[in-house]
Amino acid sequence: MELRGSGIGSGIAAGVVLRMPEPLAPASDAPRTGDVETETSRVGAALDRVATWLSQRGAAVGGEAQAVLEAQALMARDPAVTADIKTRIEAGDNAERAAYQAFASFAQILESMGGYMAERAADLADIAQRVIAELRGVPAPGVPESDAPYILVAHDLAPADTALLDFAKVHALVTRDGGPTSHTAILARAKSIPAIVGVAGADDIVNGTLIVVDAGASTVTVDASPEQVAGALERRAALLNASSAPLTEGALTDGFRVSLLANLGAPDEAAAALALGAEGVGLFRTEFMFLDSVAAPSIDAQQAKYTELLTAFPGKKVVVRCLDAGADKPLRFLTHTHEDNPALGLRGLRALRANENILRDQLTAMANAQAVTEAELWVMAPMVADAEEAAYFVGLAKELGIRVAGVMAEVPALALVADQVVEVADFVSIGTNDLTQYTLAADRTLGSVASYHDPWHPAVLRLIKMLSDAGSAAGKPVGVCGEAAADPDLAIVLVGLGVTSLSMAPSALADVRAALLTVTLDEARARASRALTGRSAAESRLLGSR
């Protein structure tokens, strides 16, 4: 039996299943017996112990996991949660029930926001479990212990659980819930471990089942045969050999050059990307400076971060995306109005245009950093829908001193008028995550529609072809900076469609570099032509992978 979800990376693993333990029994709804102050004090102490443990664990593991756990510790110390718990205790709830209900209430708010914020609801549920365990004086549910290697299967993984994983024993992750931006996905990429999230049917996989996890194909093979396991191990060995190959520039076997770039979220990620062979940066996300702020950072503060980034890449291309706020990344100083469907609301360039002072400050800071560094700075706007929006952004960027200004193609409308867009934009970068979800009307964070969110779908490939053809006709570069670029087989097809650069998580560079070296440009184009004729994502993948 084969199950599908959203694959993270391109790794392959085969092994027996060990499931995460079930959560604690629900909090009792019995009325409070102790006095208000005693019960409130008990919960406060439990919250403090949980927050302290999360912070200490984060400091111990370091890296990206530390930032995730620190964010969770802040949630545990949120005064709004503490006040809500006290109110519930005063109304008669016992300590456990008050804590559970308070966190559930805040989680429901996040879930209603959708996207990235909805995925943070799982973090609140994890804190509630840990607080209740503290109140009961029992261990919190956590990662199972095993002397033998295994593949971990769960409903979902909280940040603390993922940070506790021993990757010498955990060879892959499979979750029922979550999407490509969940903490499970983020940390799986950082650790280069195969993972598939949003797997319908994952709850039916029992302990001890032999499975094959193929992240590149986004498939979980249940009750795998000896032949399927042997094939998986052969493919895994090939991937490991590829990862140890010498670092070279991206190219096909006939010498046709394809720039291999890195997607980064902070300047301190630059060194690791360079060590893995990144030829530059294809997507630098600037949200990290804004998401935890009550006001937009100053020009000087932003300039310091951009200068740090550009200094790490002298003589190399660095593509910086302007603030992509709204939808799953709301900002109180930018997107304060409630929207019933924020993914289709005031986000990306629309939000920046409505608050042009923030956009002007950001572009000014980038231009200042550009003037004092030797990197080749390219700047792009998110969520651009047509040529008018492209002209607005490019004009403003050039006015403020940006030399190279382009747009992201995430909305199908932009592909349909690509010939008009490339008349005004210096380049186009395709964000396949959003392009896929908007094309197929499938929220990329929902496991229930994960099977629809597949960039191999012929509709998505045809839009990419339209964008590439328009760029080629105008002599303008068209790159891909979405998750699709990290799929080695799809990377070949993208090049065959006319894409000029591929940007991905640094851990995927070796696999993609090795895959490109197996084909000529004519062979890549032939694969792309076959993939375009598919009648489904699965058929296009089959046609384009050979």
Homologous superfamily of 2-21+142-242: Phosphohistidine domain (3.50.30.10)
Average pLDDT of 175-186?
Answer: 74
Is 183 part of the annotated catalytic residue set?
yes
Give the pLDDT of residue 126.
82
Give the pLDDT of residue 183.
66
Residue 240 has pLDDT above 90, yes or no: no
Which residues, at least 6 apart from 498, have a Cβ–Cβ distance to it below 8 Å?
465, 468, 469, 471, 472, 478
CATH 3.20.20.60 placement within the chain: 245-544
CATH 3.50.30.10 placement within the chain: 2-21+142-242
CATH 1.10.274.10 placement within the chain: 36-136
Give the pLDDT of residue 177.
83
Average pLDDT of 368-373?
Answer: 97
| pLDDT per position as a tens digit, 79-104 | 888 999 999 999 988 888 998 889 88
Average pLDDT of 184-196?
Answer: 78
Average pLDDT of 342-346?
Answer: 76
Kindly tell me the burial class for residue 208, based on how many C-beta atoms sit within 10 Å of its own C-beta (0-12, 13-18, 19 or more).
exposed
* pLDDT over 70 percentage in the chain: 89
| pLDDT per position as a tens digit, 105-156 | 888 887 776 655 666 777 788 888 889 888 888 877 778 878 899 999 998 8
- Least reliable range by pLDDT among 187-191, 230-234, 250-254, 380-384: 187-191
pTM, two decimals, is: 0.71
Residue 247 has pLDDT above 90, yes or no: no
Annotated active-site residue in 155, 171, 183, 457: 183
Residue 246 has pLDDT above 70, yes or no: yes
Residue 329 has pLDDT above 60, yes or no: no
φ/ψ of residue 210, rounded to 5 = -85, 120
- Least reliable range by pLDDT among 335-339, 356-360, 464-468, 486-490: 335-339
| pLDDT per position as a tens digit, 468-513 | 999 999 999 999 998 789 888 899 999 999 999 999 988 889 889 9
Residue 520 has pLDDT above 90, yes or no: yes
245-544 folds as: TIM Barrel (3.20.20)
Average pLDDT of 225-244?
Answer: 79
Q: What is the DSSP letter of 149?
A: -
Give the pLDDT of residue 480.
98
Residue 331 has pLDDT above 80, yes or no: no
Give the pLDDT of residue 325.
76
Of 17, 57, 63, 12, the closest CA to residue 175 belongs to: 17
Residue 327 has pLDDT above 60, yes or no: no
> How far is 429 from 355, CA to CA, in rounded Å?
23
- Tokens representing 191 are 């650790």
Which residues, at least 6 apart from 469, have a Cβ–Cβ distance to it below 8 Å?
418, 498
Average pLDDT of 268-274?
Answer: 93
| Range among 49-53, 105-109, 200-204, 415-419 with highest mean pLDDT value | 415-419
Helices (H) and strands (E) in the chain, counts: 22, 16
For 82, left (φ over 0), alpha (ψ -120 to 50), or beta? alpha
Give the pLDDT of residue 174.
94
| Range among 263-272, 295-304, 444-453, 517-526 with highest mean pLDDT value | 517-526
Give the pLDDT of residue 339.
66
Residue 338 has pLDDT above 80, yes or no: no
CA 130 from centroid of its chain's CA atoms: 26
Residue 224 has pLDDT above 90, yes or no: yes
Q: How confident is the model at residue 358 (pLDDT cuts 50, 70, 90)?
A: very high
Residue 332 has pLDDT above 70, yes or no: no
Residue 443 has pLDDT above 90, yes or no: no
Is 336 part of the annotated catalytic residue set?
no
Annotated active-site residue in 171, 322, 453, 481: 481
Which residues, at least 6 apart from 158, have a Cβ–Cβ distance to it below 8 Å?
72, 122, 123, 125, 126, 183
Helix (H, G, I), strand (E, B) or coil at 505: coil
Residue 401 has pLDDT above 90, yes or no: yes
Other CB atoms within a 10 A radius of the CB of residue 289 amount to 19
- The CATH class, in words, for 36-136 is mainly alpha
